[in-house]
Amino acid sequence: MRIAILGGGFTGMAAAYYLAKKGYDVTLFEKEKVLGGLAVGFRQPNWDWYLERAYHHLLDSEDDILNFAKDMGFEDIFFKNTQTSSLYDFHPQGVAKNGLAHPEGVSDYRIFPVDTPHDFLRFPLLSFPEKIRAGIILAFLKSSPFLTLYEKQTAQEFLKKTMGERVWEVLWQELFRKKFGKYAENILASFIWARIKKRAKNLGYVKGGFQTFINYLEKQLKSLWVKVSTGYEIKRIEKGNNEYRINNIEKFDAVVSTLPTVIMSKITQSIFSQSFLNRFSKLKYLHAVVLILQTKQPILDKTYWLNICAPKIPIMIIAQHTNFIDKKHYGGNNMAYVGWYVDRDDPLIKMDSKEVLNFCLPHLKKITDNRLLITDYFLFHGPFAQPIFDKDFLKNKPDFITPVKNFYIANLDMTYPYDRGTNYAVKLGKDVARLL
């Protein structure tokens, strides 16, 4: 059987690997010049490791990608203890720590670690009873299996009901607004269950960067006689008599699409009925904007991952990569990600790298105590990076099996309720391979 796999991210590569191991004739198509999808990396002349275009790490509970690496004999994955923190405006209502009136318009930004129960108990913005109540619910979410009740209410409804109104406002409200924008109040409780369920302090990384793993995997695919076609854009797919024609040139017996649902819908107009494709038009997405900063001094001293919970700072997260991975691999420079999820018409989408830097620089200076000397910077976009996990998503998300024989879908929308990541991408690739 001749199988075409559309998209060369980890889902496509994993599907190609397992299908080739089963003896199929596999061709992997990727629009970009390199494989890797959202995990692709780049390297500067004085770096000896790759750096991902968007922040990447593994959790120590993510067995699918670890077993995948083991299957191929890839051993260069390691885990480290990291620090996650959140930034708050300590005086959002103008009350100073000494009890006197705080000058109007003046903020007092502070970073609080949020990794351990001890950190949580020391968190100063909630009362002790509020922390105990919230802690009980967090423990319940961590130990709970998936329950249908999580899909019958929004995260806001669930968290307000179980933890209380004030805990929602202090701990969660701004996190949801920064991640989901105008859709924050519509996100299902299943999302927060999945985030708490998989939360880990030890994070994993690949020696040399994820691109090293991607390059290794590409060699494995070619050794299995997978045809890897990079720089090849799929513009149209048509179905003939028991075969599929790609761009009216290549012919295959089966197709596995790992492309974003929006892209897949555009190139399959002649294959699927309009009623089938219409369901996907109801899905909503945000796009990722990622600015990578190379600096002399770190933006964050100890924290790897910083959630920005201050409404006046229009940044979602800062990830100080070199508080996770030694800066010696990047020419002795400190590397940090500044990230957003935005609508397609957001001004950030239209800005060039210099404009994005100028936009966020005044806010970064409010966060760091270090002198911010930027020696280089890089801007990357990730289209359709964050699906909106609302009731419409639940009813209309894609599935592996489609109405057309031998056309399969395996894309990152299907990682629901978990956040997208390489582990779930690998799982999708392996699962779809089992269906052929």
Given this model, what pLDDT does residue 419 score? 85
Q: What is the DSSP letter of 54?
A: S
Given this model, what pLDDT does residue 91 score? 65
Q: Identify the CA nearest to 287 among candidates 423, 182, 386, 366.
A: 386
To the question of pTM greater than 0.85 for the whole model, the response is yes
3-state SS assignment for residue 249: coil
CATH code 1.10.3110 for 84-198: yes
Task: Find the angle CA(182)-CA(185)-CA(190) to the nearest 5 degrees.
Answer: 120
Given this model, what pLDDT does residue 92 score? 52
β-pairing, 237-239 vs 227-230, is unpaired
Given this model, what pLDDT does residue 98 score? 46
CATH code 3.90.660.10 for 285-387: yes
pLDDT tens, per residue, the chain with 436 residues: 999 999 999 999 999 999 999 999 999 999 999 999 989 999 999 999 999 999 999 998 899 999 999 999 999 999 999 999 999 987 655 444 444 444 555 568 999 998 888 998 999 999 999 999 999 999 999 999 999 999 999 999 999 999 999 999 999 999 999 999 999 999 999 999 999 998 877 899 999 999 999 999 999 999 999 999 999 999 999 998 889 999 988 899 999 999 999 999 999 999 999 999 999 999 999 999 999 999 999 999 999 999 999 999 999 999 999 999 999 999 999 999 999 999 999 999 999 999 999 999 999 999 998 889 999 999 999 999 999 999 999 999 999 999 999 999 999 999 999 988 999 999 999 999 999 9
Q: Which CATH class is domain 2-38+209-282+395-434?
A: alpha beta
User: Phi and psi of 7, rounded to 5°?
Assistant: 105, 125
Asked if 2-38+209-282+395-434 and 285-387 have one fold, the answer is: no
Domain boundaries, the chain: 2-38+209-282+395-434, 84-198, 285-387
- DSSP for 129-174 reads HHHHHHHHHHHHHHHPPP-GGGGSSBHHHHHHHHH-HHHIIIIIHH
**Assigned token pair, 183:** 């859709």
Q: Are 255 and 3 in contact (CB under 8 A)?
A: yes
